[in-house]
């Protein structure tokens, strides 16, 4: 906090405060303390307090972010329900967080009391401890004068909130970390600040590959985590991924689907081990084939919560395979 407060304080001495903009007069400052640093003669210096301030100049990024799970982190009905409308105070730290640079990259973020509709926002990620904007490179000529910051551009930034259930550690142990393929490469590549993931069917389909074989009289089903840079599923303990199989009748209908395997990290009070599938790992399960069955169908279901049934909105059918058993 110190840096920001001191920086702003100095600048205020040198200027007049007008509706969030600070008009600074006098000689350029060279002492490097935040807003004051950018206070060159006659230049107006912004105090960055809300994502609204970035909108008009960064409309495209704003549109990607707006409606994303970062933006809705505090208003998300699912989160409000489970946090009892944030009466469980612990939940606010990551869902309505202060700027990460203040608490420290990789350290658990702290809650804020402002901008409830902006959840995890431009300020959370881009505002440096000294009140300037962080980016991947220095751009002193841009109106917001972003400065390069290695932590900002790295996985350490995400770790502040995303290592609660070891997603960041899972990534660090994967081949992607060795290759230097980061969270950003997979989650910001196509949709930028939308950070698409488990609510996006295309992303979910990119994670797993299901193969089905008939071998030694048994039905063998294998899932390969070919595309998630961490466990599949990861993070939220709600998530579940099911392989189901069934034997169609003459009309092609399956009367009963049976679960062959569930990939999931159980709730803390739920018995069982973590069966999530690590990056690049394969898991095979086999099932007995009943007398007279001619074909088998196998499905891969993703569930946003473990109670969701086939056909619910929280369930997504990722793949369906059919093979002959002759
Ligand atoms: C008055 C317009 C204006 C405002 C307000 C503004 N920016 Fe910028 N910003 C720019 C321009 C122009 C660039 C340079 C873009 C370029 O040349 O590609 C830029 C560049 C950036 C970059 C670096 C882009 C890159 O390609 O590396 C980041 C990050 C950034 N802005 C973040 C923000 C954030 C966050 C806010 C709000 C807190 C903000 N900006 C507010 C105009 C603005
Ligand atoms: C350490 C940071 C952190 C804390 C504290 C935290 N969360 Fe989260 N939460 C996250 C992250 C990161 C995600 C996104 C990962 C994911 O979707 O699996 C998330 C996602 C969620 C989701 C899924 C939302 C959806 O639409 O799918 C729910 C629900 C949720 N959190 C509820 C809570 C509740 C309830 C609490 C308090 C008991 C809480 N969180 C505390 C970081 C946190
Ligand atoms: C969860 C953290 C996070 C949030 C929230 C966030 N950014 Fe970013 N932003 C990043 C990261 C990380 C990069 C660098 C991306 C990369 O590696 O290419 C970036 C890149 C940028 C860039 C340059 C590249 C581009 O896509 O044009 C701009 C401009 C930018 N952000 C503006 C914003 C604005 C405006 C907001 C709010 C509407 C915002 N960011 C919200 C983390 C974030
Ligand atoms: C200050 C905390 C915080 C930081 C920093 C942060 N996130 Fe998040 N992120 C969250 C929370 C909270 C959610 C879930 C919000 C919800 O669903 O309500 C989330 C959700 C996500 C999702 C899931 C979106 C979806 O639709 O399921 C992805 C992917 C993600 N973040 C990636 C990243 C990456 C990559 C970074 C680093 C560049 C990052 N986040 C930085 C808190 C954070
Ligand atoms: C090689 C690409 C790749 C990399 C690298 C990667 N991810 Fe993912 N991520 C995915 C895919 C694909 C999914 C969708 C499948 C799933 O939910 O596991 C996903 C899902 C997620 C989710 C959604 C979890 C949920 O249940 O809502 C979060 C959060 C997330 N990733 C965060 C991260 C973070 C943080 C990093 C960096 C430490 C990272 N990812 C690195 C590909 C990647």
State the distance from the centre of ligand 1 to the C-alpha of 142, rounded, in angstroms: 6
Query: What value does the mean pLDDT take over residues 295-322?
Result: 97
For residues 10 and 56, what is the distance between their CA atoms, to the nearest angstrom?
28
Contact 136, 153 (CB under 8 A): yes
Up-side HSE of residue 50: CA atoms within 13 Å toward CB? 13
Closest-CA residue, ligand 3 atom 17, reads 184
- According to the model, what pLDDT value does residue 148 have? 97
- According to the model, what pLDDT value does residue 139 have? 97
Query: What value does the mean pLDDT take over residues 170-196?
Result: 94
For residues 199 and 183, what is the distance between their CA atoms, to the nearest angstrom?
16
A 10 A CB-CB count for 62 gives 17
For residues 183 and 192, what is the distance between their CA atoms, to the nearest angstrom?
12
Give the CA angle between residues 120, 89, 83 to the nearest 5°. Answer: 75
Give pLDDT tens digits for 244-288: 999 999 999 999 999 999 999 999 999 999 999 999 999 999 999
- According to the model, what pLDDT value does residue 46 have? 64
User: Residue 189 — very low, low, confident or very high, per pLDDT cuts 50/70/90?
Assistant: confident
Q: Tokens standing for 126?
A: 């881009």
Give pLDDT tens digits for 36-70: 444 444 445 569 999 999 999 999 999 999 999 99
State the distance from the centre of ligand 4 to the C-alpha of 273, rounded, in angstroms: 25
Burial-class residue 167 by CB neighbours within 10 Å (0-12, 13-18, 19+).
buried
State the distance from the centre of ligand 1 to the C-alpha of 307, rounded, in angstroms: 43
Q: Which residues line ligand 4 (CB under 6 A)?
A: 69-70, 72-73, 76, 79, 94-95, 97, 100, 109, 120, 124-125, 157-158, 160-162, 183-184, 187, 195, 197-199
State the distance from the centre of ligand 4 to the C-alpha of 195, rounded, in angstroms: 7
- According to the model, what pLDDT value does residue 44 have? 53
């Amino acid at each position: 906090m110190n840096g920001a407060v001191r920086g702003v304080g100095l600048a205020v001495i040198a200027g007049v405060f007008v509706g969030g903009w600070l008009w600074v007069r006098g000689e350029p400052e060279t002492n490097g303390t935040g807003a004051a640093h950018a206070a060159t003669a006659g230049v107006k210096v912004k105090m960055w307090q809300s994502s609204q301030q970035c909108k008009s100049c960064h409309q495209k990024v704003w549109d990607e972010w707006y409606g994303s799970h970062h933006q809705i982190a505090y208003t998300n009905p699912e989160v409000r329900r489970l946090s009892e409308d944030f009466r469980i105070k612990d939940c606010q730290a990551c869902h309505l967080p202060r700027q990460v640079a203040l608490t420290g990259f990789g350290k658990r973020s702290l809650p804020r009391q402002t901008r409830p509709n902006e959840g995890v926002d431009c300020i959370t990620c881009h505002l440096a401890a000294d009140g300037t904007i962080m980016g991947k490179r220095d751009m002193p000529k841009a109106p917001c004068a972003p400065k390069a910051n290695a932590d900002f551009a790295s996985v350490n930034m995400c770790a502040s909130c995303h290592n609660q259930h070891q997603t960041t550690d899972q990534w660090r142990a994967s081949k992607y970390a060795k290759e230097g393929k980061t969270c950003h490469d997979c989650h910001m590549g196509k949709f930028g600040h939308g950070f698409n993931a488990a609510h996006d069917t295309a992303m979910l389909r990119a994670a797993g590959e299901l193969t089905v074989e008939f071998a030694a009289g048994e039905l063998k089903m294998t899932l390969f985590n070919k595309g998630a840079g961490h466990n599949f599923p990861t993070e939220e303990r709600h998530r579940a991924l099911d392989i189901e199989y069934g034997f169609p009748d003459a009309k092609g209908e399956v009367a009963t689907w049976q679960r062959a395997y569930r990939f999931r990290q159980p709730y803390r009070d739920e018995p069982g081990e973590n069966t999530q599938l690590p990056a690049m790992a394969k898991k095979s399960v086999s099932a007995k084939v009943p007398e007279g069955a001619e074909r088998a169908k196998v499905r891969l279901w993703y569930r946003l919560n473990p109670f969701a049934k086939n056909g619910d909105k929280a369930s997504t059918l990722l793949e369906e395979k059919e093979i002959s058993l002759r």
